[in-house]
């Protein structure tokens, strides 16, 4: 006589890894009926299998490389779009060939690098950053991806930071520019005074003093807000300083430094806010802290993907 398993059984690591393998197999088969039948049989064999499949589908949907799968038990599923990309989609870090070809200097995920240039100019590149240089009377630094801190200590030799969203000029000071995140771009004056402007059609301009920061969204500047330079550039010391952030923002930022993916399941962070200092050289070290603080559970889907859920 069989024993019914509880329908809310949590998937174990073996089931999660099997779900990842099934996703790759289905993607490779082009929806072969025999493969799909095998998947459905595997899911029905144990509630832990079905739970693992649901987590796998959600993780890859969040990763952005998904396509609709055949209907199963009256519900729509999503699976990884290409088989061999099970780990590639989990990483969601493809080769951006145009940026690679244009850039003079790049950092990998989790890497930071400093460049000492002529005329007292120093550039500090954060994780997953690419820049191109155009030297002349004014050094022009094109930020193609990521985040850079530019220091121009000699006021006789200005420096320009440029990007599609916003540009900034500094002489005798320092400016940080980040693309993406909560805005199209974020500009921070960490020393001296800087001028920032957005391209046509707006062509809006803004002057910032040391310790001021603005976002740029759809060609418009936000109001300036105060920020400590030590906080804004804590990444240079391998730290992420968090002050009253939504949990979703923290997880997204940790994911930025991780050689894999870290996801927060939909609804798991609603209304939760965080303060603290985190180690960006080991972003996964924050996961147990968040589990204890918010009663969350971290599920590993292969060695590349971590899902935080309630």
In a domain, 7, yes or no: no
Q: How far is CA 165 from CA 106, 143, 189, in A?
A: 20, 10, 17
Angstrom distance (rounded) from CA 271 to CA 292: 17
Closest to 277 in 3D by CA, of 268, 286, 269 = 286
Q: Are residues 268 and 203 in the same domain?
A: no
Question: Which of 192, 210, 229 marks a domain boundary?
Answer: 229
How many domains would you assign to the chain?
3
Angstrom distance (rounded) from CA 160 to CA 168: 6
Q: Are residues 115 and 204 in the same domain?
A: yes
Q: Are residues 106 and 224 in the same domain?
A: yes
Q: Are residues 118 and 87 in the same domain?
A: no
CATH code where residue 268 lies? 3.55.50.30
Phi, psi of 31 (to 5 degrees): 65, 40
CATH code where residue 164 lies? 2.60.120.1440
Q: Are residues 159 and 198 in the same domain?
A: yes
In a domain, 290, yes or no: yes
- pLDDT of the residue at 184: 94
- pLDDT of the residue at 267: 85
Q: Are residues 102 and 196 in the same domain?
A: yes
In a domain, 73, yes or no: yes
Question: Which of 91, 113, 134 marks a domain boundary?
Answer: 91
- pLDDT of the residue at 6: 43
Q: What is the pLDDT along the chain (310 residues), one digit of tens a residue?
A: 333 444 456 777 788 778 877 877 877 777 788 888 988 999 999 988 888 887 777 666 655 433 333 333 333 333 333 333 344 444 333 457 788 889 999 999 999 999 999 888 999 999 999 999 998 888 999 999 999 999 998 889 999 999 999 999 999 999 999 999 888 999 999 999 999 999 988 889 999 999 999 999 999 999 999 999 999 999 999 999 999 999 999 999 999 999 888 989 888 888 999 999 999 999 999 999 999 999 999 988 767 789 898 8
Q: Are residues 283 and 303 in the same domain?
A: yes
pTM greater than the 0.95 cutoff: no
Give the residue numbers spanning the domain of 210.
97-229
In a domain, 2, yes or no: no
Q: Are residues 79 and 146 in the same domain?
A: no
Question: Which of 91, 114, 135 marks a domain boundary?
Answer: 91
């Amino acid at each position: 006589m069989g024993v019914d398993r509880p329908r809310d059984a949590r998937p174990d690591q073996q089931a999660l890894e099997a779900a990842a393998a099934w996703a790759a197999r289905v993607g490779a088969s082009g929806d072969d009926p025999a493969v799909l039948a095998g998947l459905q049989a595997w899911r029905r064999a144990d509630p832990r299998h079905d739970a693992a499949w649901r987590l796998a589908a959600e993780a890859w949907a969040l990763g952005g490389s998904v396509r609709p799968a055949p209907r199963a038990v009256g519900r729509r599923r999503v699976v990884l779009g290409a088989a061999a990309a099970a780990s590639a989609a989990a990483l969601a870090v493809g080769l951006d060939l145009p940026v690679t070809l244009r850039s003079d200097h790049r950092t990998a995920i989790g890497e930071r690098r400093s460049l000492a240039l002529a005329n007292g100019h120093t550039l500090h590149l954060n994780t997953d950053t690419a820049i191109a240089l155009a030297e002349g009377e004014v050094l022009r630094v094109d930020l193609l991806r990521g985040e850079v801190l530019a220091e121009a200590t000699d006021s006789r030799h200005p420096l320009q930071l440029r990007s599609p969203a916003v540009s900034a000029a500094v002489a005798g000071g320092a400016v940080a520019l980040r693309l993406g995140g909560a805005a199209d771009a974020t500009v921070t004056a960490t020393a001296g005074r800087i001028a920032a402007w957005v391209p046509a059609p707006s062509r809006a301009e803004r002057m910032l003093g040391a310790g001021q920061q603005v976002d740029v969204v759809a060609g418009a500047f936000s109001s300036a807000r105060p920020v400590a330079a030590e906080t804004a550039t804590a990444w240079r010391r391998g730290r992420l300083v968090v002050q009253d952030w939504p949990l979703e923002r923290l997880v997204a930022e940790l994911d930025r430094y991780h050689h894999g993916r870290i996801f927060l399941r939909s609804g798991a962070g609603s209304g939760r806010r965080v303060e603290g200092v985190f180690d960006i050289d080991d972003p996964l070290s924050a996961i147990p802290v968040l589990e204890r603080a918010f009663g969350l559970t971290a599920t590993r889907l292969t060695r590349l993907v971590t899902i935080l859920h309630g």
